[in-house]
Amino acid sequence: SAVISQKPSRDICQRGTSLTIQCQVDSQVTMMFWYRQQPGQSLTLIATANQGSEATYESGFVIDKFPISRPNLTFSTLTVSNMSPEDSSIYLCSVEESRGETQYFGPGTRLLVL
Amino acid sequence: KNQVEQSPQSLIILEGKNCTLQCNYTVSPFSNLRWYKQDTGRGPVSLTIMTFSENTKSNGRYTATLDADTKQSSLHITASQLSDSASYICVVSASGTYKYIFGTGTRLKVLA
């Protein structure tokens, strides 16, 4: 199984600033996923990040707002740019085993924007 | 439209009792269905995964069933414990895609 860590675990930020969330996996994975979970809601996929190519964004999410880096097979970052209170959410990094048998999630980054 | 609906939204039971959570989906073409447990403030953790040909799978006190004809799944928790208090999320994936459709979850509270 994959072990995923995220930094920071939580943060409180001011409106208009940006926060970069880091995701580290203990094994090499092809695809990494970034999700958002707003209070009381289920998970919504933001984008899929492949190493060596541009991230693929879901409807409603754009690269200018959520730029993603994927410099190697074990690491990715998600930046939440020009934050507003509506961005207050839990942001989760996820990977899938190469055989697609299961999906592993990081512990999440709890973001509060004031 | 691909959707996953779960019921009930929330559930309170006494420790030691059994409970069953429901999941209905309209995802097509179907690939697999997963149940996750998400403790408060943590990421989801996989409990079971079932493909089209499987109709039941157990993981300790958790037993998931799948009826691919009616597109329904259930998660049965036996002899509940306080640590079972969490959100349980049903996730369905479509064939040929890395898209996962998440249900809104059932929030379970087990009381002593």
**pLDDT one-digit tens code per residue, B83-112:** 999 999 999 988 876 678 899 999 999 999
Residue A98 has pLDDT above 70, yes or no: no
Residue B43, pLDDT above cutoff 80? yes
Structure token pair of residue A95: 């990977």
Q: Please name which of B38, B95, B74 lies closest in space to residue A43, comparing C-alpha atoms.
A: B38
User: Chain A interface, mutation test: which of B100, B106, B107, most A Cβ atoms within 10 Å?
Assistant: B100
Are B108 and B19 in contact by the 8 Å Cβ rule? The answer is: yes
Dihedral over alpha carbons A77, A36, A89, A2 (to 10 degrees): -60
**A66 band by pLDDT with thresholds 50, 70 and 90:** very high
Summarize the confidence of residues A15-30 as an average pLDDT: 95
The mean pLDDT value for B52-71 works out to: 94
φ, ψ at A18 (rounded to 5°): -125, 150
Q: Mind telling me how many Å the CA of A15 is from chain B's nearest CA? A: 23
Q: What is the pLDDT of residue A101?
A: 63
Residue A75 has pLDDT above 90, yes or no: yes
Is A105 close to B44, i.e. CB distance below 8 A? yes
Q: In this complex, do B46 and A102 lie within 8 Å of one another by their Cβ atoms?
A: yes
How much is the average pLDDT of A9-26?
96
Residue A10 has pLDDT above 90, yes or no: yes
Lowest-confidence pick of A67-71, B32-36, B100-104: B100-104
Q: How many CB pairs under 8 A join A and B?
A: 39
**Is residue A87 classed as helix, strand or coil in its secondary structure?**
helix
Q: Do the Cβ atoms of B43 and A45 come within 8 Å?
A: no
Which residues of B fall within a CB distance of 8 Å from A4? 43
Interface test with B, best of A5, A32, A35, A102 (most B CBs within 10 A): A102
Model confidence band, residue A1 (pLDDT cutoffs 50, 70, 90): confident
Instruction: Report which of residues B29 and A84 the model is more confident about.
Output: A84
Give B31 or A99, the one with higher predicted confidence: B31
- Cβ distance of B102 and A44 shorter than 8 Å: yes
Residue B29: is the preceding peptide bond cis (ω within 30°)?
Answer: yes
Residues of B in contact with A109 (CB under 8 A): none
Whether the Cβ atoms of residue A31 and residue A76 lie closer than 8 Å to each other: no
Distance CA A48, CA A57 (A): 7
